[in-house]
Amino acid sequence: MASAPKVKLNNGLEMPAFGLGTLMCKSNEGVEAVKYAIDKGYRHFDTAYAYGNENDVGTAIKEKISEGVVKREDIFVTTKLWCTYHEPSRVEDACRKSLENLGLDYIDLYLIHFPIGFVYVDDKTLIPYREGTSSILTNDVDYLDTWKAMESLVKKGLVRSVGLSNFNAEQIERVLKNCEIKPVTNQVECSIELNQKKLIEFCRQRDIVITSYCPLGRPNPSERKPSFLFENPTKAIAEKHKKTPAQIALRYVFQLGTVPIPKSVTKSRIDENIDIFDFELSSDEMKVLDKLHTGNRAGTFVKIVDSDHPYFPFKAEF
Ligand X SMILES: NC(=O)c1ccc[n+]([C@@H]2O[C@H](COP(=O)([O-])OP(=O)(O)OC[C@H]3O[C@@H](n4cnc5c(N)ncnc54)[C@H](OP(=O)(O)O)[C@@H]3O)[C@@H](O)[C@H]2O)c1
Q: Which residues are catalytic?
A: 51
Distance separating alpha carbons of residues 288 and 282, to the nearest angstrom:
10
Beta bridge partners of 220: 225
Whether 15 and 76 have beta carbons less than 8 Å apart is answered as yes
Binding mask 82-121 for ligand X (x = CB under 6 A): -------------------------------x--------
Radius of gyration of the chain (CA): 19
Chain positions 117 to 136 lying near ligand X, rule: CB under 6 A, are none
Binds ligand X by CB under 6 A, chosen from 138, 186, 187, 234: 187
**What does the alpha-carbon distance between residue 109 and residue 58 come to, in Å, rounded to a whole number?**
14
Among 165, 185, 186, 234, the residue binding ligand X under the rule CB under 6 A is 165
Pick one of 46, 108, 193, 275: the residue that binds ligand X (CB under 6 A): 46
Among 61, 162, 265, 292, binds ligand X (CB under 6 A): 265
61 forms part of the interface with ligand X (CB under 6 A):
no
- Cβ–Cβ < 8 Å for 82, 50: yes
Pick the stretch among 125-133, 171-179, 266-274, 286-294 that binds ligand X (CB under 6 A).
266-274
Nearer to ligand X, 71 or 242 (CB): 242
Per CB under 6 A, 313 contacts ligand X:
no
Residues 23/80, Cβ–Cβ less than 8 Å: no
- Was 113 annotated as part of a binding site? yes
Indicate the annotated binding residues for substrate: 113
Provide the binding-site residues for ligand X, judged by CB under 6 A: 21-23, 46, 113, 165-166, 187, 213-219, 246, 261-266, 269, 272-273, 299
